[in-house]
Amino acid sequence: MLFNIPLLIAPLFVYNAFAFGLMGARVGDPWSAPIFTVQMLSDARWTLTLGDLMIIAALILLFVEILKATRTGMGSIVDHILSTLLFVAYLIEFLLVRETATSVFFILMVISLIDVIAGYSVTIRGARRDMTFGPGPQG
């Protein structure tokens, strides 16, 4: 049952921990805080922010969730239902909570929506491939 918990719940918890000050007192937008800056060969400066890092982590978790969607069976159905409920939680929080009205949270919510759509699509596609009609080959 623990395997069925959507991994995209982790970015939601981490976001809320930062947004509501559970990770220490915050000054300004924590998602624009630079992690590191690299001087490129073109003399441009590339800066990775905390928000960028959060989105990268969520995309990696999305990849794992899509791999999980290739499973079949009752656990797969539970996983899809929980992913759908997680997307609804993202959506409700985005609409109702002031601290989540940011681009980072919106992108996390869209990643969660893609998880829901991809999960159902992969499962339906796999079920259609596995479905056979008729008695099968005679031999």
Q: Is the pLDDT of residue 86 over 80?
A: yes
As given in the structure block, the two tokens for residue 45 are 């400066």
Q: What is the pLDDT of residue 53?
A: 96
Mean predicted confidence (pLDDT) in 12-39: 84
The predicted-structure confidence for 35-48, as pLDDT tens digits, reads as follows: 999 999 999 999 99
Q: Is the pLDDT of residue 77 over 90?
A: no
Listing DSSP states for 16-59 in one string gives: HHHHTTTTS---S-GGG-EEEEEE-TTS-EEEEEHHHHHHHHHH
Q: Is the pLDDT of residue 52 over 80?
A: yes
Q: Is the pLDDT of residue 23 over 80?
A: no
Residue type, 35: I
Q: Is the pLDDT of residue 102 over 90?
A: yes
Mean predicted confidence (pLDDT) in 24-42: 84
- CA 35, 39, 40, 42 dihedral sign is positive
- CA-to-CA distance for 32 and 18, rounded, in angstroms? 12
The domains of the chain are located at 2-130
- CA-to-CA distance for 41 and 33, rounded, in angstroms? 24
Ramachandran region of residue 73, left (φ > 0), alpha (ψ -120 to 50) or beta? left
* pTM, entire model: 0.84
Q: What is the pLDDT of residue 123?
A: 80
Q: Is the pLDDT of residue 12 over 70?
A: yes
